[in-house]
Structure 1
Amino acid sequence: MKTPMYHEHVELGGNIVDFGGWDLPVHYEAGIKEEHLTVRSKAGLFDVSHMGEFWIEGPDAFAFVQNLVSNDISVLEDGQVQYNMMCYPHGGVVDDLLVYKASDTRILLVVNASNVDKDFAWVTENLKGEVKAENVSSKTAEVAFQGPMAEDILQRITDVNLSDIGFFHFKENVKVAGVNALVSRTGYTGEDGFEVYVNWDEGVKVWNAILEAGKDDGVLPIGLGARDSLRFEAGLPLYGHEIDKDITPLEAGLGFFVKLDKDSFIGIEPLREMKAKGLPRRILALQMIDKGVPRNGYPVEVDGKEVGYVTTGGYSPSRNENIASVLVEAGCADIGDEVNVMIRGKAKKALVIKKPFYRKKYKK
């Protein structure tokens, strides 16, 4: 499958790969490190049109979503966004997602690209009350514009005052390059920035307009490689790595987004029980001491005993060192302790450090 911006990616020298059935650039001519550092210092533009969008509408939309997700959406004002998880009855994660509350009767769910079909099936299987769900993923193009210069540059082609959109808030019917858009102050990089949703066939116009507006400021298009390294440094989870059907949000260190004092949500009872008994596993952050690049799935050992594995690992451009997130047995190690990562069968020393690897720079 191809996003509306596919030909633009090719023209810009994108190295196209198959990503969950989508033809997307892993990087452009500048390379992953340069793209990563550009987002940290200036601003970068991501094509995320492969993400999934579901509108939940009807008199019972609020009650349905409140029971579907782990966080408490009753605290949301209209025009506010909230990070969330949908859980299976056993407490594992169906997916993590963003909930956009337009009103009590109209709510947008934005889910991960690799999970769109599975997630929509889950949503429809659990529909209750006077509510309908519409999958508008194939009709919706999305770009993310991230970095410290993002607001100033995007403002040049936008008809509303972007400073009025607070962190994790959104506005509908915003004109971006003359195109009607939903604009939210959200992202997946640890930097300030925006995500812009438009009709599928208008994605190219917005993409090109943002690149043109920022061309003299060093703005670059950003591929999947830097998208992953940016989110990893900022301590943001990736489905299938830090969370999945066999890893609960509590084990993943995402308990803040799991409101166990809610009346109910799917999976709440096993999570309450886990919290009461004590977590069996936890996510730790590692800084490599020995040479070697930790990768997903590599075993982690303490005193010669295997205690877990790497969920995400690699080189950190911001820190200029190799780092890893690991899921390990609770209590096996803490900040300041040394552990071993088994890289190609050899034990490589690593230091447990405080999360996240990079301090987020959101505009509150």
Structure 2
Amino acid sequence: MSASETSLRRTPLYARHEAAGAKLVPFAGWEMPVQYPAGIRAEHLTVREAVGVFDVSHMGEIETRGPRALDFLQRILSNDVARIAVGAAQYSVLCKEDGGVLDDLFTYRLADERYLTVTNAANHDKDLAWFQRQAEGFDGVEVVDRAADYAMLAVQGPQARALVAGLAAGGAEALPRRFRVAEATVAGAPALVCGTGYTGEDGVELLLAPDDAPAVWDALVDAGAAPTGLAARDTLRLEVCFHLYGNDLMESRGPIAAGLGWCCKEETGFIGSEAVRAARDAGPSELLAPFVFTGPGIPRQGNAVVGGGEVTSGTLSPSLETGIGMAYLPVEQAVPGTEIEVDVRGKLRPAVVKEKPLFRKGT
């Protein structure tokens, strides 16, 4: 085993994945299950039709607390943090001064002066350093790294809530609505239950003490949740056009071109707001747009689009049974119904730009 392999971190559920026959791969410094023996397509369709459970314990958490926690977060997050009620969640981006995107984040307000922000795994150290640097000289706020304090399980699918309710003290009444968060006991373990996810399906995400994660995982699987790997998580999110940092979001592009202007409230004066306002006023030269192949082929990140543009995410959609993706395109091409061609390893593959999301229930 190489030194790089031995340095990979493992979640509290590593032994469960290994015992289940998961294919484990390096991901953002972690050894993570990319798929289980059932395969990506089966896992994907199970989440669309029933319920799957994902180990997303590689995600990071930052707690911000103190009498000026709101003022601080309003300064660094793009959305209007003042609108997050206690027990609610909000999506935002973290921007540099030039408007480039450092990360996209969910923030949960746990109490009047206490917030928990979930970071992408590959960005956690960078995000934490950014939070800490911006907090220097900012009285009345404390930034705490909580990544080691939580394991995170995502239970997703049309049957997810009913399954978790069956394991929760208090049943369905104990679970929060979408974009809300609540403390609950699940399978005997205290948890933060978040009404969020990354699949386009209903469900919850559970933040637990790492030592409690294996028993809760076992209870979820025993109740019928199918273990689901990161590959299906990617195909699920792409079908509904959710962004993936490092593919669709990056420091060299801003939120307006990425179609995330809706979560940017420049009037709050967040870091990067002037650059974001300028981009909004001038109009971007390119836009991130979803597309579907009209013939054979599978698009991949980095594929060029004829006439300008680049694919940022691509896959074979298990639900639509065709190649799908997202690409930054010149504005005039980023219009639903526009026909484009994607260069896939030297072969031009025809595609058509679509509206978001690419997959809708019942279609």
Q: Please, what TM-score do these two structures have when normalized by structure 1? A: 0.94
Matching of residue 201 in structure 1 with residue 211 in structure 2: yes
Match of 2:68 among 60, 69, 83: 60
Q: Which string of whole-angstrom CA distances, capped at 9 and with x for unpartnered residues, describes residues 190-222 of structure 1?
A: 0000000111111111111111122xxxx3100
Matching of residue 236 in structure 1 with residue 242 in structure 2: yes
Matching of residue 33 in structure 1 with residue 41 in structure 2: yes
In structure 1, what is the Cα distance between the partners aligned to 2:107 and 2:282?
A: 30
Question: For residues 345-360 of structure 1, what are the structure 2 equivalents within 5 Å?
Answer: 345-359=346-360
Counterpart position of 1:342: 343
Question: For residues 165-244 of structure 1, what are the structure 2 equivalents within 5 Å?
Answer: 165-172=176-183, 174-214=184-224, 219-244=225-250
In structure 2, what is the Cα distance between the partners aligned to 1:292 and 1:224?
A: 22
Counterpart position of 1:276: 281
Deviation at 1:20, TM superposition (A): 1.4
Match of 2:107 among 99, 104, 107: 99
Match of 2:163 among 153, 157, 176: 153
Counterpart position of 2:6: none
Deviation at 1:332, TM superposition (A): 3.1
- Where 1:2 maps in the other structure, the secondary structure is coil
Matching of residue 4 in structure 1 with residue 12 in structure 2: yes
In structure 2, what is the Cα distance between the partners aligned to 1:332 and 1:15?
A: 39
In structure 1, what is the Cα distance between the partners aligned to 2:69 and 2:252?
A: 28
Question: For residues 276-315 of structure 1, what are the structure 2 equivalents within 5 Å?
Answer: 276-301=281-306, 305=307, 307-315=308-316
In structure 2, what is the Cα distance between the partners aligned to 1:360 and 1:102?
A: 32
Counterpart position of 2:57: 49
- Where 1:126 maps in the other structure, the secondary structure is helix
- Please list every run of 5 or more consecutive structure 2 residues that lacks an aligned counterpart in the other structure: 1-8
What is the one-letter code of the residue matched to 1:299?
A
Contact 2:109–2:116 under 8 Å retained in 1: yes
In structure 2, what is the Cα distance between the partners aligned to 1:311 and 1:194?
A: 28
In structure 2, what is the Cα distance between the partners aligned to 1:107 and 1:162?
A: 25
Match of 2:86 among 36, 55, 78: 78
Superposed CA RMSD: 1.3
In structure 2, what is the Cα distance between the partners aligned to 1:299 and 1:137?
A: 37
Deviation at 1:360, TM superposition (A): 6.9
Contact 1:61–1:104 under 8 Å retained in 2: no
Deviation at 1:281, TM superposition (A): 1.0
Counterpart position of 1:123: 131
What is the one-letter code of the residue matched to 2:235?
S
In structure 1, what is the Cα distance between the partners aligned to 2:334 and 2:103?
A: 28
Contact 1:234–1:360 under 8 Å retained in 2: no
Matching of residue 254 in structure 1 with residue 260 in structure 2: yes
- Where 1:156 maps in the other structure, the secondary structure is helix
Contact 1:52–1:111 under 8 Å retained in 2: yes
What is the one-letter code of the residue matched to 1:96?
D
Deviation at 1:263, TM superposition (A): 3.0
Deviation at 1:333, TM superposition (A): 4.5
What is the one-letter code of the residue matched to 2:255?
P
* Divergent runs of 4+, >4 A: none
For residues 333 and 45 of structure 1, do their structure 2 counterparts lie closer, same or farther at Cα, with a shift above 3 Å needed?
closer
In structure 1, what is the Cα distance between the partners aligned to 2:170 and 2:126?
A: 36
Contact 2:287–2:334 under 8 Å retained in 1: no
Q: Which string of whole-angstrom CA distances, capped at 9 and with x for unpartnered residues, describes residues 287-310 of structure 1?
A: 112321110000001xxx3x1100
- Where 1:181 maps in the other structure, the secondary structure is strand
Contact 1:190–1:360 under 8 Å retained in 2: no
What is the one-letter code of the residue matched to 2:314?
G
- Where 2:248 maps in the other structure, the secondary structure is coil
Counterpart position of 2:150: 140
Deviation at 1:317, TM superposition (A): 0.6
Give the number of equivalent residue pairs: 351
- Where 2:268 maps in the other structure, the secondary structure is coil
In structure 2, what is the Cα distance between the partners aligned to 1:360 and 1:84?
A: 26
Deviation at 1:161, TM superposition (A): 4.0
Deviation at 1:279, TM superposition (A): 1.0
Deviation at 1:347, TM superposition (A): 1.6
In structure 2, what is the Cα distance between the partners aligned to 1:286 and 1:246?
A: 22
In structure 1, what is the Cα distance between the partners aligned to 2:54 and 2:76?
A: 29
- Please list every run of 5 or more consecutive structure 1 residues that lacks an aligned counterpart in the other structure: none
Contact 2:69–2:113 under 8 Å retained in 1: yes
Contact 1:54–1:134 under 8 Å retained in 2: yes
Matching of residue 114 in structure 1 with residue 116 in structure 2: no
Among all aligned residue pairs of Structure 1 and Structure 2, give the percentage whose two residues are the same amino acid. 40
Deviation at 1:320, TM superposition (A): 0.9
Counterpart position of 2:5: none
What is the one-letter code of the residue matched to 1:166?
R
